[in-house]
Structure 1
Amino acid sequence: MNPHLGQRVLTWGPAEASVVVLAVHGRGQEPEVMRGLTARFGSLPARFVAPAAAGGSWYPLPFLQPMEANQPQLDEALAAIEARIDTLLDTGTAAGDLVLLGFSQGACLLAHLLLTRPRRIGAVVLLTGGFIGPDPIKAPAGTELVGVPVLLRSIEDDPWVPAHRVAETGRLFEAAGARLDVAIAPGNEHVVTDEACTTAADLIRRLRPRSG
């Protein structure tokens, strides 16, 4: 059994909202961290769904370690997020109304998932993260990410996520046809800037709720 699928899921925001944000927390965190982060976005016409990782982390070692060193937890985490996405789509959320939001380890997980198992969604917000593993990967060859807005934000000297990996991740999304917005702010702390929050909120607001 996948240990991540037995964990609690925190939800907030208007239950009737058609736009749904799947919010994936970082290492050693709980879903409440994502609720606190999105409070900085201001009021949004969106429902938020934040699953908890087993033991507070999606995989055990830093994301630049060899892939096999993070197994089997990494594959379990990727499968768990895919299952969460499938559940949302199967219960009435349209693909174009689904936003994937991740911070730190959560952003790494989402970046890797979308670049290795791409799928059509409404938008992507990755705050301080990049694809997983020490080796380069290829941009996906399909059309699933064409036109999808992808927002990447990070800090120049972040202690955990090198700026070059964030930039490389952005290039892969761009090569896959996504509409990329990437910016790396000066600093050396593992934080989300006010600019990142404002821009993410604007992106989510542009996904207009369906009528009728």
Structure 2
Amino acid sequence: MPDIKRVGLPLHGAKRAIILIHGRGATAESMLSLVPHLNLTDYAILAPQANGNSWYPFGFMATDEGNKVALDNSLGILKETWSEVEAAGILAENTVFLGFSQGACLSLEFSARNAQKFGGVVAFTGGLIGEKLKTENYSGDFQGTPIFIGSSDRDFHVPAKRIKESADLLRKMGADVTIELSDDPGHTIREDEINWVNQNIFTNR
């Protein structure tokens, strides 16, 4: 079983859930520091921990072979985490995936490989994973799932070109994708990004 930090409502007492996915070198615990800034009062909140604090060893656009074993394992950790949410009776349409940096890439990759109507996907600085985007890796229909990708227009780790390519692919799969590219070069989560997701994804629906 994955190592999962849990806050918010207990799974069996919640109708909504969010899975928080940390970045490279960070921890599940560190992702929980976002919780006070998000409108998650009625959510069960789960934050899985990556083995060795990293979801895959190389950059997200490195050769597929280099990242394959670790990436497959990490996608499995997310699958187990989500399966726990499903087993508690929480629907996919009430489940949100949110990640930062490496975790943002993983949140997009996992949701695109399992596309259906989710409550939302939030990628704070990330894109789909792979040396090149391979449409055969992805299947399903997002059915209008809101997906937010926020980043710098010149982030050192995540090129804006890959973000736009990822958004195009996700839109073709039926997602309602919003991109915010800031002229601030920092590799960080910005206040306006937080405000957008609070107003558009973490609303009382």
Aligned residue runs from structure 1 range 38-53, under 5 A: 38-41=35-38, 44-53=41-50
Contact 1:173 1:180 in 2 (8 A): yes
Contact 1:12 1:49 in 2 (8 A): yes
The verdict on how the C-alpha distance between 1:59 and 1:204 changes in structure 2, with shifts beyond 3 A counting, is: same
Distance in 1, matches of 2:44 and 2:97, equals: 12
Aligned to 1:118: 115
Aligned to 2:9: 14
Matched positions, count = 202
State the identity %: 29
Contact 1:44 1:205 in 2 (8 A): no
Long gaps (5+) in structure 1: none
Contact 1:41 1:197 in 2 (8 A): yes
**1:119 positional shift:** 3.5
Contact 1:44 1:201 in 2 (8 A): no
1:152-190 Cα distance to aligned partner (Å, 9 max, x none): 111111111111111111111111111111111112111
Distance in 2, matches of 1:25 and 1:88, equals: 18
The equivalent position to 2:164 in structure 1, one of 151, 167, 171, is 167
**1:207 positional shift:** 5.2
Matched, 1:142 2:140: yes
**1:114 positional shift:** 2.2
Distance in 2, matches of 1:154 and 1:163, equals: 8
The verdict on how the C-alpha distance between 1:194 and 1:69 changes in structure 2, with shifts beyond 3 A counting, is: same
Aligned to 2:96: 99
Contact 1:158 1:189 in 2 (8 A): yes
**1:42 positional shift:** 5.2
2:7 counterpart letter in structure 1: W
The equivalent position to 1:27 in structure 2, one of 24, 42, 52, is 24
Aligned to 2:152: 155
Matched, 1:61 2:58: yes
**1:77 positional shift:** 0.6
Long gaps (5+) in structure 2: none
TM-score (norm 2): 0.90
The verdict on how the C-alpha distance between 1:141 and 1:61 changes in structure 2, with shifts beyond 3 A counting, is: closer
Contact 2:119 2:201 in 1 (8 A): no
2:125 counterpart letter in structure 1: T
Contact 2:96 2:119 in 1 (8 A): yes
Distance in 1, matches of 2:202 and 2:69, equals: 37
The verdict on how the C-alpha distance between 1:72 and 1:87 changes in structure 2, with shifts beyond 3 A counting, is: same
Contact 1:25 1:106 in 2 (8 A): yes
Matched, 1:183 2:180: yes
Distance in 2, matches of 1:118 and 1:43, equals: 23
